[in-house]
Amino acid sequence: MWRDRDFRRLWAGQTASQLGEQASLVVLPLFAVLTLHAGAGELGALRAVGQAPILLLSLFVGAWVDRWRTRTLMVLADAGRALALGAAAVAGLLGGLGLPALLVTAFAAGALSVFFDVAYQASLIRLVHRDQLVRGNSALEGSRSAAQIGGPALGGALVSALSAPVAAASSALFFALSFLSIRRIGRRESVPARPARSPRVWRRVHEGLRFVAGDTSLRTVCLASAAFQFFFAAVMTVYLLFLPRDLGLSGTAVGLALAATGPGAVLGSLLAARLPGRFGHGAVLVSAAALGDGVFLFVPALHGSSGVTVAALLAANFVFGALGQLVNVTVMAVRQTVTPDGMQGRVAATINFAGMGLTPLGSLLGGFLAQAWGTRTSLLVTAAGMLLSPALMALSPLARLGRTLPAPSRVPGGVGRGPGQP
């Protein structure tokens, strides 16, 4: 695949875009705190505004992605984010940027990121053969994991070394680089055929929801993702209280422990290119999810802030990152393979919406349990709850998927059926 020039351009553009996105998640809050002297409530509002587009727009974006060329949407999203952050940087340097304008910037960047993220997940199936999806996703998700490690650190370093406005301009530069790379993809993208009378966006959203609900594999992926994200949000709320309060870890030690998931995720992306084809997709999904989620069950047994405790946390987070990424890449390959071309965007958006939509409730549950039962007991209970995700997969036909993935599912009535689809 690396000999494919167009795939390299997609990978380079996606990598630059992810670096810009991850850096901006740190740069914009620091912009508010250091330049605009925002308080805790204002900072919380800024983060909420930036995350709101995931819930507000994901399903609609999925419907639009299925009707347009994904590369067009990606380059427009890159251009929009570059302009938004560039304008904020110029206004900040001139002293004319207030908190309301920064809120607008955060919302615009978040909304355009939803477009880019759904579009790039649907773009690979239109660029490579289906038997190349696992390796293609491994490369793309590996770079995304690397960006999650380096992006926030890069954003913080730029703010510290230069200034918040200059750091925002640097994030805009990453989006510009992504724009230039993806725009140079030469292979013509086949767009799924549209019906003579194009249904309204609400109808298309409903078609996506119905298709996911009607396909056993996709329905299981959706339910398992929702269960994982709900309990993982609860775990992280308790975890971030448990490490400093119960174990007495310093901020540096906490950051080091959490950062171990990043290198683990890179390893998981490499494993995902080989293990499903050797042991079967279903076996890899269930075993990796059970072992990766189950590692948190051992964390409540830790005591003190000794080197042994820190080493155990590093190992747990590394294993969680590696196996979690193995699950992510394998699930994405399954989802892309069983989904017809004309439904790729809507299926991706539906699963993202179902997974991320429950995270606020999970965070609230974690906080409530920690207050009522204490962090150690709450961490054990919420970590056990994460095992619901592999249990759902183990009890479904998803667990029986072999080394070769099935053909795309039939779409009732031909809705969303792409060229050449059965």
Burial class (CB in 10 A: 0-12, 13-18, 19+), 252: exposed
Q: Where do the H-state alpha helices sit in 128-215? A: 133-161, 164-183, 201-214
pLDDT, tens digit, for every residue of 102-126? 999 989 998 999 899 888 877 887 7
Q: Where do the H-state alpha helices sit in 195-260? A: 201-214, 216-241, 251-259
- Residue keyed to tokens 């909304």: 111
Q: Walk me through the domains of the chain, giving residue ranges and CATH numbers.
A: 5-185 (1.20.1250.20), 204-407 (1.20.1250.20)
- Examine the pLDDT at 241 and tell me if it is beyond 70: yes
203 vs 391, higher pLDDT:
391
Closest CA to 408 of 333, 329, 349: 333
DSSP state of 94: T
Stretch among 103-112, 148-157, 382-391, 411-420 having the lowest mean pLDDT: 411-420
What's the whole-number mean pLDDT along residues 317-341? 87
pLDDT number for residue 418: 33
Contact (CB, 8 A) for 314 and 253: no
Which range in 247-256, 283-292, 344-353 is most confidently predicted, on average pLDDT? 283-292
* Predicted TM-score (pTM) of this structure: 0.68
Closest CA to 67 of 277, 299, 409, 349: 349
Contact (CB, 8 A) for 13 and 119: no
- Examine the pLDDT at 413 and tell me if it is beyond 60: no
- Which residue type is seen at 270? L
Stretch among 15-24, 117-126, 290-299, 373-382 having the lowest mean pLDDT: 117-126
